[in-house]
Amino acid sequence: MMSKKFVIVAGIILVVLAAAGYWLFGSKLWPGRQEQEQELGDEVSVLLATLEQEADIGFSKAKLLEFNWNASAEGKIKTVVISGRGFEIYDVSGEEQARIDSFFYDKGFEVDLYNIAAGTVSGAVGYKKDNLVCVVSGQIQLDESGLPLEGYKRDIQVKCGENNDSSEIIIPPSGD
């Protein structure tokens, strides 16, 4: 009969070997899983996937992009270029847009006053939480004569990224 110590040591060795094998060869055995982890591995990708699921809206496939984020620095407004991800959707109802906006509020994001824009047929709202920033912009669809289409359908873009110190800052020329 084997001793209890031998069985425990053999079990530990097997677990360590299995973990090392998975670490070394896991991506070759399950390549789709690695792609999914890479796709959802960062905070921005997870946030966008959660938005799509919780808002129950079928966005386009998320893609890499850059967008401008306005920030106050040294008493001036400066524009920071954010590298992130985003997607879009067309023919969105007002109720669907409200679900998008509610998502950010429910997740603890704050509206950033430096990233709000409003026009007669388009607008944008910037949301921030810790180092995550998002801009949700939309435009009401118009007919040939420039009037809103029935139902006030709109096209929406969602862009999110991490605002960190390595982002490029664009300093507008001063009029001094």
Cβ burial of 71 (10 Å; 0-12, 13-18, 19+) is middle
Please write the tens of the pLDDT for every residue from 61-70. Answer: 888 999 999 9
Both 17 and 62 in a single domain?
no
| Overall domain count for the chain | 2
Both 46 and 30 in a single domain?
no
Q: Which domain holds residue 81?
A: 42-170
Q: According to the model, what pLDDT value does residue 151 have?
A: 75
Report if residue 19 sits inside a domain.
Answer: yes
* Residue 37 scores a pLDDT above 60: no
Distance CA 34, CA 167 (A): 28
Both 78 and 141 in a single domain?
yes
CA dihedral sign, ordered 57, 90, 63, 132: negative
Please write the tens of the pLDDT for every residue from 49-105. Answer: 999 889 888 888 888 999 999 988 888 889 999 999 999 988 888 888 899 999 999
Report if residue 29 sits inside a domain.
Answer: yes
Both 82 and 100 in a single domain?
yes
Q: Tell me which amino acid residue 86 is.
A: G
Both 90 and 162 in a single domain?
yes
